[in-house]
Amino acid sequence: MSNSTCVSCKGTGITPPLPTLPPPNTTVLDLLQTNDVPSAAAERLIRDTLTDINGRIEVLDDEISRLEERMRVIQQQKDQLVQLSSGHKAIVHPLRGIPEEVLLHIFRCCDSYARDVMDLTGTPICYDSLQQTRSPWNLGQVCRRWRMVVLSCSSLWSYVGVSMSSCEKLSRLALQLERSGSHPLTVALQAKKNVFTPAEKQLLDILCSHSNRWKTLRIHFHHGIMHNFQVISPMIKGRLPVLCQLSLVLDFQSQNDAPEDAVIDAFEIAPQLCDVVIAKCTNRLARILRLPWHQITRYRGFTNRGSSSHRVVIVNDDCQFLVQMPSVRAIYESRPINRVAAFPQLHLPSVHTFGIAIRSHSRLESINSFFDHLSLPNMCDFRLEVHTETVPECILAFLARSASKLRIFWFKPTLDWPDKDKVHLLKGTPSVQSLWLYCPTAELLGVLADCDSSVLLFPQLQEIGLFNLEKDWEGLITNLIERRRSTANTLRKVWLPCDHPFDSSQLNVWRSGGVVVDTSIISWYIAVTTV
């Protein structure tokens, strides 16, 4: 091997031999075992040995320094190669070859606002879509190609969430609306005060100038509800040609309810409006809110979930707005019912899906009056959530009137109900083919599994959904499904929550036996309110 000098470390390519350890000295070993003073000869020997040892240490230090420098040079070369490799990999990465239509599909799945907050219907809301750290803004900052793709798709810019506190983003709002082209808009508008600054009014002007493209609208005015609607109404009334879904939070309860002469008429003329969600409005809804009620096919009314007792919404509405909707097919009502006077007759022949959450703060007299006057002759889907201590007799009577056409039943009873009361209620729905249960008990699962023809519940049952289950109920549920598969009307479909207690092998056994097993529903609440 030649003695050529290394270019990187300026040394030869031959590693010098490392110094060896000095041989042990018996005199030194003996002295280490005692505290005796060494003789003059022993001391000279020891000092000579120390000099030799220190010299060897210096040689090793030099070698360590040489190797560290060598390591630094090698690491530097590696870093340069890694960087060079990354660049080459980026050039041949499959992402560069993804067709634009596939890239667009991926971008549409990147709506970061969808993980912000959910409204009362389980719909994702974002009141600030103008942040540059959110899609689609951030997607256009990656590279020129992505930017061109993002700018070419108006639908990516069609969700507009605006808080009136974001008035400093006027130019960005105008830019987003421009990029959305002529695409229909989903708009979420929030204001936390009742007096708008000039900049906030300008922001509202810009947003409302595109009301002809609003397809879905959600408005939440925390304060000054009537004043804010008086401001917005002249800007949009009669200018909502494509509005289909309207969601309003009318929190009058914190303001001693709406004034007697209160009227919201901004949405009175909306030829495509068919889906309405109202939150918290407690009184005289039909008179306060002027809508094309005759067009509405789906209505949902909510109060806040998990409200503490001092924020209970007391509903004293006569519900006459319901009969003003001759085309309504689906209704879900979860506001507490506390009307003092009797309800008028509520005959709703167009309704096929009706859901109601009977809150613990509802008055029993009001509940009885409501159901006694409610007529749904064509209802086939009933969704019942009950928080009362006992089974209201009016529910049993209502089911008796509706049983012949009832095919789908969603049931979430309070945990305080005895199982015999739950079974008694379920016996009133023999024609049900699809049953959804929330928090069933072990006893109730056992009753449902009893296929003796003399006691069989739901003889026509073909589908069942079971939610909020105990982890150790695997055997109970398996028994229920297996026994129901052996009946004349065999079980065909099972819904289970995402956190069900079964492994994939058991699910595959049922599927191979012809049972459809669906575990895609992530929330009972969202499912039951999606009427």
Q: For the segment 364-378, what is each residue's pLDDT rounded down to a tens digit?
A: 888 999 999 999 999
Proportion of the chain above pLDDT 70, given as a percent: 88
Assigned token pair, 418: 């005895």
Question: For residue 258, what pLDDT is reported?
Answer: 56
Question: For residue 252, what pLDDT is reported?
Answer: 66
Burial of residue 355 (number of CB atoms within 10 Å: 0-12, 13-18, 19+): buried
Question: For residue 312, what pLDDT is reported?
Answer: 45
Burial of residue 184 (number of CB atoms within 10 Å: 0-12, 13-18, 19+): middle
Is there a contact between 56 and 19 (Cβ–Cβ < 8 Å)? yes
SS3 string of 472-510?
Answer: CCHHHHHHHHHHHHCCCCCCCEEECCCCCCCCHHHHHHH
Assigned token pair, 49: 């040995």
Is the confidence at residue 436, as pLDDT, over 70? yes
Distance CA 210, CA 182 (A): 9
Is the confidence at residue 272, as pLDDT, over 70? yes
**3-state class (DSSP) for residue 114:** helix
Q: What is the DSSP string of 312-365?
A: ---B----HHHHT-TT--EEEE-SPB--SSPPPPEE-TT-SEEEEEE-TTS-HH
Q: Higher pLDDT residue, 16 or 267?
A: 267
Distance CA 85, CA 332 (A): 59
pLDDT tens for residues 91-112?
A: 888 878 888 888 888 888 876 5
Residue 468, Cβ neighbours under 10 Å: how many? 12
Question: For residue 116, what pLDDT is reported?
Answer: 44
Q: Higher pLDDT residue, 158 or 25?
A: 158
The domain ranges of the chain are: 26-92
DSSP assignment letter at 109: T
pLDDT tens for residues 37-62?
A: 888 888 888 888 888 889 889 999 99
Is the confidence at residue 175, as pLDDT, over 90? yes
Is the confidence at residue 166, as pLDDT, over 70? no
Mean pLDDT, to the nearest integer, of 316-339?
A: 85
Element (H, E) at 57: helix 40-92
Question: For residue 223, what pLDDT is reported?
Answer: 77
Confidence of residue 304 (pLDDT cuts 50, 70, 90): low
To the nearest 10 degrees (0 to 180), the angle between helices 364-372 and 393-402 is: 20
Residues in the chain: 531
Mean pLDDT, to the nearest integer, of 15-43?
A: 81
Q: Higher pLDDT residue, 2 or 85?
A: 85
Minimum mean pLDDT range among 131-145, 216-230, 295-309: 295-309
Closest C-alpha to 213, from 244, 167, 250, 249: 244
Assigned token pair, 401: 């009137």
Question: For residue 43, what pLDDT is reported?
Answer: 86
Mean pLDDT, to the nearest integer, of 131-147?
A: 88
User: Going by C-beta distance under 8 Å and a sequence separation of 6 or more, which residues neighbour residue 238?
Assistant: 269
What is the pTM assigned to this prediction? 0.78
Confidence of residue 194 (pLDDT cuts 50, 70, 90): confident
Is the confidence at residue 256, as pLDDT, over 70? no
Q: How far is CA 112 from the centre of its chain?
A: 11
Question: For residue 84, what pLDDT is reported?
Answer: 93
Distance CA 450, CA 456 (A): 6
Distance CA 355, CA 384 (A): 6
Q: Return mean pLDDT, the chain.
A: 85
Minimum mean pLDDT range among 43-47, 125-129, 295-299, 517-521: 125-129
**3-state class (DSSP) for residue 89:** helix
